[in-house]
Structure 1
Amino acid sequence: MTRCDPSVWGWRRHLHSACRLAVGGLCCMFAAWAAAQDEGPTWFAGGRPREAAHQALGFLLAAEADGLAPTDYDAEGLARQLAGAEALDAAGLRAVDAALTRAMRRYLADLHGGRIDQLPSQAGQQVERDEGFDPAGLLRAALAAGRLAEAVHGAAPAQPDYPGLRRALGVYRELAEDPLRGGLWGAPLPPLPGRKLEPGQAWAGVGDLARRLVALGDLPARARLPGRYEGEVVAGLRAFQARHGLAADGVIGRATLAQLEVSPAHRVRQIELGLERLRWTPRLRAPRSIVVNVPEFMLRAYTVEGRRATLVLQMRVIVGKALDTRTPLFAEDMRFIEFSPYWNVPPSIAQAELVPKLQRSPGYFARQGFEFVDGDGRALTTLTAENLEAVLRGRLRIRQRPGPKNALGDIKFVFPNDENIYLHHTPSPGLFARPRRDFSHGCIRVESPVALAGFVLAGVPEWDEIRIREAMTRGTSSTLRLREPLRVVLAYNTVGVAPDGRVMFYPDIYGHDAALDEALRRARP
């Protein structure tokens, strides 16, 4: 694209940047027009609304399709004003014109970057602002080009999940508003006959369960309803469990029953919160990116070209414990890989957990390959009461040597950050089989480290799988600096869409959704 002449833009330099990001060449195409339009967009001609005014009003009235609120933009009030525009004098038309412009600017800003500027700390994630996005400039250029719809589409988040989540919102809103299907959640399911219900047992709630599963799409409408909990109903329940972060065993226990009782209206709000999070989750701008969705316990690796992200790799992960060692949410660049790493035990863990354990079981020190390190970097391999006391006083630290029992496994992926969070392998892979996987002290354990290293080192031919495995098992610690940094995004979303279109829900393990919901309700009238 040809760069615009700064002398044409003058004070509109930021408009050029915003338009280039969102709608390509609109800014250069209409630079001269924009320079002459100091009063902003004009939505009327001859006292009548232009077609663009009706188009803009349509976007505002349909804002809930993106999880936004039409009332935030006074969409119905603007509809009445446009309908009565022919009776307005010049001053009245200018007032309506200005009101519609303000509403569209706010709508574009909300659609692109979210509705709140600052989150309370318990909401768990920083809002990322796109400083180059100028909704006023984007709106002017789009109207000049007659491409308002294209501008709105370009303002929407470019996150891979956004289109599917937007469709899911429509599906669940339709379900919630259907008096027959949505009404199935009007009363709770009958009590279970015991602590849990297993396939083959009798239960008075089989029919109600089946009807809910049909409404949710987990059970075909033609399915035969048995007198007992068995057959296709069990298969439908397993499908439901798989979509809700539960063990898909067909057994209805407390956790499954709780998810079955969540109404479609509640799911609508959950999806709206998911769409809002995608507006300020760090965007995938780098050619290759890694995204960890914490409540889903999943890592995905993407290649990115333009606004299109292609999924290359995914795997299960283990994240920080919900009670006391939550994984923080941020985005940083991966710059190093450490093969056969040392584990430098954080002082908080050493003092609160490891030292008391070593005092109770001194043999654990040698069995696990621990050693003390002094301020000069010298290793001390003898366990003494004096050394343990020095750790408690901060004069010594503890580290674990490379080896099969090392807590980091045999590889560590480093993206420097203030929280000292990183990705790593683990010597305890059995935990990956559990449906809920918040077991760590905050760092993220990955299920398939060789595959992840292959993605990170793609394009570096000398680092093939054989060499990666050799470096991981060598037993001697070494650090590899990446030629090109790789973006790592630690995100939090309790709803997603599978490649086959299934809507997936995950537990709000850190309570971030509840905090976000409250923040949005207080944000703006």
Structure 2
Amino acid sequence: MNMKNCLSSLLGRAALVLWLFCGTAMAAQGLPWFDGDRPGAQAHEAVAVLAAAASHGLAPQDYSAAALGRSIAGAARGSPLDAAAMALLEQALNTAMERYLADVHSGRVDPQKIHHNFSPPQREPFDAGAYLQAALAAGRLGDAALEAAPRLPIYGSLREALAAYRARIDHAAWRQPLPPLPGGKSPKLAPGQAYAALAPLAERLADLGDLPPGLAQPAARYDEPLVGAVKAFQLRHGLAADGVIGKTTLAQLQVTPAARARQIELALERLRWTPLMQGPRMIVVNIPEFVLRAYEVQDGRIQVQEEMKIVVGKALDTRTPLFDEDMRFIEFSPYWNVPPSIARAEIVPRLRRDPGYLARQEMEFVSNGGRVDRTVSAGLLDAVLAGKARIRQRPGPKNALGDIKFVFPNRDNIYLHHTPATELFQRDRRDFSHGCIRVEHPVELAKFVLKNMPDWTDERIRTAMSRGQSATLRLPEPVPVLIAYGTTLVKDGRTFFFDDLYGLDRLLDAALRQHSQTLPTLYGDAP
């Protein structure tokens, strides 16, 4: 069988089965690491791939890249290798490349160990050993190594951003921190004010690409074009783009390119195990960005159809969990069944102090037998605490869920919904909920979800939302929903950074460092 055909098959969905069929032909040719008693072209190609692992945000030392590179270079120009040395080097090359291919394809850590309730996506079976042998037999190791990485445009864009931020590390603009701002106890720099460090500020913003090259900056006062550059910087860092440099903006300006490079490396790692293309249509929530995107996959590319602001769980105590599930229902004019934790901690104590709160908030008690009561009593409050009754809020303008609820059944009882508190969408930081996710434009989201149900027109959706009578619609085609966590994105060629809201970047960073520390050295002395 033709080796290239074998490789093509192995890269497809039936990789493992087809490898068993193709394996005999490839075994007969051997693994071409060597040309006689010298390292062959593919051995040199392998060490080049391993040495470039950092371009994917991986650690070359995890694959003994330097030691293997030295050995291959020495064997190429020194005395011929004996059989034992060749066998040892061949085994090390095989193991290093298999480890690399597995890492670049699926990531290095188990996401569930760092509070991500999903597993690496099973896009297709992936056997790193079979994949490697097929690539070697076909003579296309370098191309196959690239193809093992996630085939997402954002992955390539982040690799470019990583290279750009690494190139900035030694730039003169970052050798000294920016000095304190004027203003005493409430320091800030507003347009028109004097600031002694305008020149280094301009140099830093120019290096980041926020200040176009060649634009002059007045020597003494903070004015245009520097104000516009600061606004561009603020926009890329999830800040209010007002051009005023306060404590938060200055702190972001002080973050070094090395720290940003590490942030991008963490984003690349997440992409390797985040299930972003599970179906032709999908909804993705990015918690640190406070943004929801609804997109379609067309010809293997993501086409965003809707994008909107969201409110997520409070970072302090009610964080929104990360997981992926299928949206199966829409509830119009929903009831809000108060979660037991909120009932115990907030509603019941409030009702003991102020029984009239129940009527003002259009709430009611529902016993386990289905009886509805709208009068507060000590017995009913005790029943709620004992789990024998619940509190719910009726549909209407005061309902905490607004007028629509998007349901994707999950163990955490998290869902998407509208809200009467629409003013929260104007905040820059939007972690205010008890865990569920509030969406800015519910009608547009409903139209996206119901796209394949043309009888659900804009008017019909709005009517169902405003009717005040709860109704549930089952979706004939479930829509995957992914609640993800990315503190770095590339949009329209610009790199955006967001705060590590829940501290999950710190957890991932620690897990990756621990992973590298526990790996056995594959060949030679570390690194």
TM-score by length of structure 2 reads: 0.91
From 486, 490, 502, give the equivalent of 1:510: 502
1:91-110 equivalence runs, <5 A: 91-110=84-103
- Equivalent positions of 1:321-340 (< 5 A) are 321-340=314-333
Contact preservation (8 Å) 1:119, 1:516: no
Q: Deviations over 1:20-76 (max 9, x none)?
A: 14xx99985994355652897331122233322222221111111110011111111
Deviation at 1:113, TM superposition (A): 1.0
Counterpart amino acid of 1:492?
Answer: Y
* Aligned 8 A contact 2:405 2:416 in 1: yes
Out of 190, 193, 204, the position equivalent to 2:196 is 204
**CA-CA distance at 1:153 after TM superposition:** 2.6
What is the alpha-carbon distance in structure 2 between the residues aligned to residue 415 and residue 119 of structure 1? 20
> How far off its partner does 1:285 sit?
2.1
- Contact 1:158–1:283 (CA<8 Å) still a contact in 2? no
Note the alpha carbon deviations across 1:487-514, whole angstroms, 9 max, x for none: 111111111111x211000011111111
How big is the shift at 1:384?
2.6
Asked if the contact 1:351–1:392 (Cα under 8 Å) also holds between the matched residues in 2, the reply is yes
State yes or no: 1:140 paired with 2:130. no
1:222 to 199, 207, 214: 214
Is 1:72–2:62 an aligned residue pair?
A: yes
Q: Answer yes or no: is the 8 Å Cα contact 1:415–1:422 preserved in 2.
A: yes
Summarize the alignment of residues 6-85 of structure 1 with structure 2, pairs less than 5 Å apart. Answer: 19-21=11-13, 31-34=21-24, 37=27, 41-85=31-75
Could you say if the C-alpha distance between residues 53 and 329 of structure 1 is closer, same or farther in structure 2, counting changes exceeding 3 Å?
Answer: same
> What amino acid is aligned across from residue 54 of structure 1 in structure 2?
H
The equivalent residue for 1:260 is 253
Which residue in the other structure is 2:413 paired with? Answer: 420
Give the whole-Å Cα distance in 2 for the aligned partners of 1:296 and 1:217.
21
Matched letter for residue 99 of structure 2: R
**In the alignment, what sits opposite 1:180?**
172
SS across alignment from 2:244: coil
Cα distance change, pair 98–431 in 1 and its aligned pair in 2 (3 A): same
Q: CA deviation at 1:423?
A: 0.6
One-letter code aligned to 1:197: L
Q: Does 1:404 align with 2:397?
A: yes
**Separation (CA, whole Å) in 1 of partners of 2:23 and 2:388:** 69
- 1:241 is matched with which residue? 234
TM-score (norm: length of structure 1): 0.91
Secondary structure, counterpart of 1:333 in structure 2: strand
The equivalences for 1:97-176 within 5 A come to: 97-117=90-110, 120-121=113-114, 123-124=115-116, 126-128=118-120, 130=122, 132-176=125-169
Provide the secondary structure at the position in 2 that maps to 1:37. helix
* Higher mean displacement: 458-467 or 126-135: 126-135
Per mean C-alpha deviation after superposition, the further-off stretch among 318-327 and 468-477 is 468-477
Q: 1:374-413 counterparts in 2 under 5 A?
A: 374-413=367-406
SS in structure 1 opposite 2:406? strand
* 1:206 shift after superposition: 1.9
8 Å Cα contact 2:10/2:134 also seen in 1: no
**Change in 2 beyond 3 A, CA 1:512/1:172:** same
Deviation at 1:386, TM superposition (A): 2.8
Deviations 1:283-308 (A, max 9, x none): 31211111111010011112124642
Distance 2:158 2:359 in 1: 51
**How many percent of aligned residue pairs carry the same amino acid?**
56
Query: CA contact under 8 A between 1:124 and 1:512: conserved in structure 2?
Result: no
Question: CA contact under 8 A between 1:108 and 1:135: conserved in structure 2?
Answer: yes
| Aligned residue identity for 2:458 | E
Q: Which structure 2 residues correspond to residues 361-372 of structure 1 after superposition, within 5 A?
A: 361-372=354-365
Residues 189 and 208, structure 1, Cα contact 8 Å, conserved in 2: no
Change in 2 beyond 3 A, CA 1:479/1:35: farther
CA contact 1:30–1:144 (8 Å) conserved in 2: no
Q: Within 1, Cα distance between the matches of 2:193 and 2:95?
A: 60
- Do 1:245 and 1:506's aligned partners in 2 also have CA atoms closer than 8 Å? yes
Contact 1:189 1:209 in 2 (8 A): no
Greater alpha carbon shift after TM alignment, 202-211 vs 416-425: 202-211
Which residue number corresponds to residue 359 of structure 1? 352
Give 1:347 deviation, angstroms.
Answer: 0.7
Report the CA distance between 1:393 and its aligned residue. 2.6
Q: Could you tell which deviates more after superposition, 357-366 or 250-259?
A: 357-366
Mark the CA change 1:489 to 1:18 in structure 2 (over 3 Å): closer, same or farther: farther
Comparing 262-271 with 219-228, greater Cα deviation is found at 219-228
Provide the residue aligned with 2:3 in structure 1.
none
Instruction: Determine helix, strand or coil for the equivalent of 2:108.
Output: coil
- Map 1:237-316 → 2, pairs under 5 A: 237-305=230-298, 307-316=300-309
Q: 1:417 to 1:261 in 2, by over 3 A?
A: same
Give the Cα–Cα distance (whole angstroms) in 1 for the partners of residues 370 and 203 of structure 2. 66
Q: What secondary structure does 1:296 align onto? A: coil
Matched, 1:521 2:510: no
CA drift of 1:190 comes to 3.2
Q: Matched residues in 1 for 2:361 and 2:10: separation?
A: 55
Q: 1:441 to 1:370 in 2, by over 3 A?
A: same
The code of the aligned residue for 1:37 comes to A
User: What are the superposed Cα offsets for residues 297-323 of structure 1, whole Å, 9 maximum, x if unpaired?
Assistant: 011112124642222211111000000
Q: Distance in 1 between matches of 2:303 and 2:280?
A: 10
Give the match for residue 522 of structure 2.
Answer: none
| Residues 428-467 of structure 1: pairs in structure 2 closer than 5 A | 428-467=421-460
305, 310, 314: which one pairs with 1:317?
310
How far the C-alpha of 1:146 sits from its partner, in A, is: 2.5
Distance 1:441 1:411 in 2: 17
Q: In structure 2, how many angstroms separate the alpha carbons of the residues matched to 1:401 and 1:40?
A: 72
* SS at 2:468 equivalent: coil
Q: Report if the CA contact (8 A) 1:293-1:299 is conserved.
A: yes
Task: String of CA shifts for 1:241-277, please: whole Å, max 9, x gaps.
Answer: 1000111111111111111111111101111111111
**8 Å contact 2:291–2:310 — kept in the other structure?**
yes
What letter matches 1:51 in structure 2?
A
